[in-house]
Each structure stands twice: as structure tokens, then as C-alpha cells.
Amino acid sequence: MRIEVLTIFPGLIEGYLAESLIGKARSRGLLDLRVHDLRSATADPHRSVDDTPFGGGAGMVLAPGPIFAAVEAAQPVRPLFLLGPGGRRFDQAQARELASAPGGFSLLCGRYEGVDQRVVDHLVDGELSIGDYVLAGGEAAALVVVEAVARLVPGVVGNEASTVHESFSDGLLEEPHYTRPADFRGWPVPEVLRCGDHGRIARWRRAAALARTLRSRPDLVAARGGLTDQEVQLLADHGYPVASPGGAHEEPEAHEPH
């Protein structure tokens, strides 16, 4: 899988991607990550990439010239996505989509007030946002996307099962995890996890995942159409209070509209 990142701060990207899981995957040849300096194609002695906005206002804008020149010189693998708060919200489903795209993809990092709109209109294939907040630059966002995708590439994570059964993989959060000691400062590990009965453990995990998702992210449960009758029963069997946040099992409003 090839992923290319275009940025005015290549060091920020290289530093992060040299270590840990991704660093190892790169040295094993599983990931071909390339970083391009957007300043590389600048012609002036200051290697400037930004300019003041037409129409006035605060801040600087990344100019189209150096960005087009850098992309035309590097010919990064397509699709090429611009990172920006106005883009499609990046999520686990898209991470899976990108991880299964045969050729890979590229990411363009903005800075300052953002990039000239002609880059959006005529150069990139789409725009990705990592959430509803504003960063100082696209680099941290690019690293989020690279890491979320890279760990789904076969072989990158040692135990592949851990990327099949995890939060968001079936529209739910994952159940809580415990390791030794069995009793830490008087807080015990749930007894069921130490009983050795794998069927019972699997049912508890499913119930705990459902309960946790209902509590922390009821929107995820609603998005999958609420709870099935079996899930309601499973929660009840494990002593969790059941109140569906919507979807299939929601009771109609008691009062009539006037």
C-alpha cells in the first residue's frame, strides 16, 4: 500500500511515521509511505508558499502555484485528498475503504487560513476532515488518517483478529478490557472473565459492548436501527437497564399532537 503526504513540514510527518507499528511496517515493505515537501517546487529565494488573501482579512493563504507545481512534479498516487475542516468526516468505514483501495492514496496538508480554492476545485479528488474543530495545519490530521488506514493493511498489526473485532467494526464500541492483577486496589475484574466458559464470556462481552455503546454513544445504536429483541434480552440477562435510544424498539410518544 502506498500513501503519499504533501506538506510544508515534512519533518512532522517523517518523525511520527518512523516509529512503532508504522515504522516497522515500512521497514518490512508492507507500507510505502512517501513524504513530499510543498516547498520543493518553489522558484523564489525565500521558497514562499503563502500570500495574503484577496478581499482582505486575517492570515495567509497557501498559494496555488507551489501546490500545483509540487503535485505535478511528484505525481502522487490518486485519489489525492486535501485535509480540511470542510471535508467529508473521516471515520472507520472510510479507513476500511482506503485500506482496501488497491493503489493507495495521497494527502495534501493545508496551513494558515487554508489553501487557495482553485486547489480544491481543480487539483484534488476530495476533502477529508477529522472532526469539527480547527487545527493549525493538516499534518496532525494526515497522521490520523495514515495511522487508522495503515493498521488495517494486512500484516501491519501483529494479530489481525484485533482489527476485525474492535470499536466501530460492527457499529458498536468495544467491550472493556482487563489484565492482571485480578484485584487492583480492591477493584476486581468481572468474575465471568475468569470462569473459563468461553460461551459465557462471549455473551458477557457482547452485553458489555452494547451497554457501553448505549451509555456513551446512543447515536451509534440508533444508527444501526436500535436493539434487536435478542439484544434487549441479552442486556436484561446481564442486569443492564434497557432503554433503547430509538430505532426498531422505540415506543410511540404517549401524547397526541394538537
Give the binding site for ligand SAH (CB under 6 A).
83-86, 109-111, 113-115, 129-131, 133-135, 137-138, 141
Measured from each CB, the residue nearest to ligand SAH is 110
Nearer to ligand SAH among residue 53 and residue 245 (C-beta):
53
Nearer to ligand SAH among residue 50 and residue 113 (C-beta):
113
Nearest-approach distance from CB 148 to ligand SAH, in angstroms: 13
Nearest-approach distance from CB 31 to ligand SAH, in angstroms: 21
Nearer to ligand SAH among residue 129 and residue 228 (C-beta):
129
- Which among 43, 50, 115 is positioned nearest to 80, based on CA atoms? 115
C-alpha cell at 35: 513524504
Nearer to ligand SAH among residue 134 and residue 254 (C-beta):
134
Nearer to ligand SAH among residue 124 and residue 141 (C-beta):
141
The percent helix, strand, coil of the chain (3-state, each to 5) is 40, 15, 45
Place of cell 516509529: 19
Phi and psi at residue 224, in whole multiples of 5°?
A: -95, 10
Strand-pair category, 104-108 with 2-7? parallel
- Which among 161, 167, 164 is positioned nearest to 209, based on CA atoms? 167
Residue type, 132: D
Cβ-contact 213, 173 below 8 angstroms: yes
Tell me if residue 14 falls in helix, strand or coil.
helix
Place of cell 486575517: 58
Nearer to ligand SAH among residue 38 and residue 135 (C-beta):
135
Nearest-approach distance from CB 181 to ligand SAH, in angstroms: 40
Cβ-contact 13, 5 below 8 angstroms: yes
Nearest-approach distance from CB 131 to ligand SAH, in angstroms: 5
Cβ-contact 1, 31 below 8 angstroms: yes
